[in-house]
Amino acid sequence: MNDFRQAFLAFAIARGAIRFGEFRTKAGRLSPYFFNAGTFNDGAALRQLTRFYAKALLASDVEFDVLFGPAYKGIPLAAGVAIALAEADRNVNFAYNRKEAKDHGEGGLLVGAPLKGKVMIVDDVISAGTSVRESVELIRQKGAQPAGVVIALDRMEQGRDARSAVQEVEQDLGLPVLKIATLADLMLLLQADARYSAELPRLAAYRDQYGVVT
């Protein structure tokens, strides 16, 4: 496992962004763990989180010119990732959208840099893929090319069919989805830490029931 993946997961657990217990998902399943990116809610935490996004982007071979953050969670993420990339000597523009078009001032749905060239979508997770599809449509309307999506955690869990939401985006939209870490990475981390010996069988059983073939 890449060092940044392990470090991210340890950071997320320490921050309380990854919690273990019993949580009901939007699909009605009882999950033994929960991921909530909303707990990265201070300056130091957001800085560290977005540095992990930057590491995932820089470790990939996916080319991009602009970062795009879908409203609302993607807005601070895209801005923070742009800063983190600049710290790594990769200066890129970023933009985000409004939920409703503004009819005064600069107007429109978009704020920030123009969408042109190859655009990387930045979000926390992919649940149903709705946000990604809306972002792709907006990017194409502006004459730009969607380059891919980068997220924090891939739950590797079945969505509407035998595929995960991530696989649907990759296969249906033809876009690469970059992840800081996955459920498989999380299980590797738990295997190496005796403190989580009680959690690992529950995650393994959940993955056996709802996991996807990768």
Question: Beta 118-122 vs 108-112: how paired, if at all?
Answer: unpaired
Q: What six digits make up the tokens of 143?
A: 């004459």
Contact 92, 65 (CB under 8 A): yes
Return the closest-CA partner of residue 1 out of 198, 207, 193: 193
Q: Single out the catalytic residue among 55, 104, 142, 179.
A: 104
Using CA atoms, how far residue 101 sits from 5, 111, 114, 204, in Å, is 37, 10, 16, 45
Verify whether residue 26 is a known catalytic residue: no
Residue 55 a catalytic site member: no
Phi, psi of 36 (to 5 degrees): -135, 100
Options 102, 116, 142, 179, the catalytic residue: 102
What positions carry a catalytic annotation?
Answer: 102, 104
